[in-house]
Amino acid sequence: MTIAKQRKYDVVVVGSGAAGEAAALTAAENGNRVLMLEKGRTTGGSANYSEGIFAVGSYLQKEKGINVSGTAVLKEEVEYSKYKADARIWRKYVDSSAENVQWLSDEGVVFERVQAMGAGEATWHIYKGFGYGAIHTLEPKFLKLGGELLTSTSAIDLKLGDNKTVTLRNEATGETEDVQAKVVILAAGGYLNNQEMLAKETNYDLSRLVPVSSGKGTGDGLRLGWGVGGRKYGTGMAMLFGGYLKDPDEPSFKMMESQMNTAAGQQPLLWVNQDGERFVDESVIYNFSYAGNALYGQNEVYSILDTSVIKKMATEGNYMGLGVYVERGQIMDKLEDEIAEAVAANKPFIFKADSIEKLANQMGVPAGKLVATVSQYNNYAANGVDNQFGKDAKYLAPVQEGPYYGFKLNIGAFCTMGGLRVNTANEVEDNNGRVIQGVYAAGNDAAGLTGDTYGPNMPGTCAGYAFYSGRNAAQDAQKYLK
């Protein structure tokens, strides 16, 4: 029995996330014989968890009278990346973004609204049923057009030639097989789940990095692309997602739904380091990637919540809308129960005490220093001025009612971005800047969108780019195939 139905394809797509599904469907719509490979048992990758995608000038924004300048976005993103992002890639992405939303909508993807996230612009097009809904709208169309999808099947090797040779491995049986393809589109989602690659390609302290993703981004696309001479470019960054609680007994993504996690790691409340000192204006969390950088600057970080702050968030609402909490003031009705359960279960990330001294001792930070920090912070709150870091007075909630809670913050990460140098057609380039004919990279495997820090100020740019670039690669491949 063979793994794939045919020996020869026009297009083989490696990965079935946002980039892979968009590429595969587009290539099938263009009349090609397409094989989409997915190494997991299920399709969708990390895209399944995404909430929405970036666009400017979309029909939804027009309906709402939202006017965001594409050139302003481009300039800001390129500046933000310290000119490591590619302005030409941004230009084409920005200019195609409204059409990208329209295409998805025409294919049946339902967009519920468009909004900002945190401090950002209203560029985030929220799809119904998360990315899962979008992926599972595109996929049946692909299959209906005769596209072939193999799950539990990895691409493990790629060789160049007039026809490329892709070696497949059935993950259930270990069996391998070669197929031929004129075009290969690498869309395997980056390397967040490959510890060895993270250690080599990034400077993050991996003991504190909490990958919150599909778990399948093991860098295969980059390895295949580099293996055929693709230029390594733009590695070194993950999309950091602010403070995150690490529960050794549960899969990391479960904390995404936890109000306790949001209260501890995603609100502009008091944070201290291993020395019991504040180190930043905590409202940096408005940009969760900046917050990740700030947290990484310290050896350890604890978020300190007192009972009155917890009660306030549980009854009157949070301090800052972010991610799942899209609006400021949303009520955290499960917060108190979740905290009580974590304390009862002796979870290693939570500390509870009836005085600040005792809390410090439990956390292992100098008690005198923490007492002084809290006292100074309470003075700032009383005066409505943060003389140290200038945090807005509305976030200066005093720490004064016991019991007190300390939460050890690690750093969440959603994905890596970058690794293969591509041009504006998503063709992979070699070390001399020449195109490797018929080899494309899309989504998180492609470099060009970021410097060392993701820009959530224009929300949705990562998943938006994945859908767009998959489609962009397949459209360019059509010219190549002709």
Residues 6+ apart with CB under 8 A from 255: 210, 212, 244, 245, 247, 261, 412
Intra-chain end-to-end CA distance of the chain, in Å: 32
State how far the Cα of 344 lies from the Cα of 44, in Å rounded to an integer: 36
* 51 is a site residue for ligand FAD (CB under 6 A): yes
In sequence order, the β-bridge partners of residue 9 are 181
Report which residue's Cβ sits closest to ligand FAD.
17
Count how many Cα atoms sit within 13 Å of the Cα of residue 148 in the half-sphere of its side chain. 17
* 147 is a site residue for ligand FAD (CB under 6 A): no
User: Between 93 and 271, whose beta carbon lies closer to ligand FAD?
Assistant: 93
Q: Shortest Cβ distance from residue 426 to ligand FAD (Å)?
A: 12
Q: Shortest Cβ distance from residue 328 to ligand FAD (Å)?
A: 19
Q: Shortest Cβ distance from residue 481 to ligand FAD (Å)?
A: 22
User: Between 261 and 444, whose beta carbon lies closer to ligand FAD?
Assistant: 444
What length does the chain have? Answer: 482
Q: Shortest Cβ distance from residue 44 to ligand FAD (Å)?
A: 6
Q: Shortest Cβ distance from residue 99 to ligand FAD (Å)?
A: 17
User: Between 13 and 381, whose beta carbon lies closer to ligand FAD?
Assistant: 13
* 289 is a site residue for ligand FAD (CB under 6 A): no
* 460 is a site residue for ligand FAD (CB under 6 A): yes
Q: Answer yes or no: are the C-beta atoms of 340 and 435 closer than 8 Å.
A: no
Q: Figure out which of the listed residues 9, 10, 11, 50 binds ligand FAD, where binding follows CB under 6 A.
A: 50
Query: Which stretch, 60-68, 105-113, 185-193, 260-268, contacts ligand FAD (CB under 6 A)?
Result: 185-193
Q: Answer yes or no: are the C-beta atoms of 397 and 381 closer than 8 Å.
A: yes
* Residue span 113-142 as binding mask against ligand FAD, x where in contact by CB under 6 A, dash where not: ------------------x-----------
* Residue span 209-238 as binding mask against ligand FAD, x where in contact by CB under 6 A, dash where not: ---xxx-xxx-x------------------
Query: Which stretch, 51-59, 74-82, 299-307, 330-338, contacts ligand FAD (CB under 6 A)?
Result: 51-59
Q: How far is CA 401 from CA 79, 331, 404, in A?
A: 44, 20, 7
State how far the Cα of 4 lies from the Cα of 211, in Å rounded to an integer: 32
* 202 is a site residue for ligand FAD (CB under 6 A): no
* Residue span 25-44 as binding mask against ligand FAD, x where in contact by CB under 6 A, dash where not: ------------xxxx----
* 463 is a site residue for ligand FAD (CB under 6 A): yes
State how far the Cα of 172 lies from the Cα of 313, in Å rounded to an integer: 47
User: Between 406 and 459, whose beta carbon lies closer to ligand FAD?
Assistant: 459
Q: Figure out which of the listed residues 189, 243, 418, 448 binds ligand FAD, where binding follows CB under 6 A.
A: 189
What residue ranges bind ligand FAD (CB under 6 A)? Answer: 14-20, 37-40, 45-47, 49-53, 131, 154-155, 187-189, 212-214, 216-218, 220, 256, 414-415, 443-444, 460-464, 466
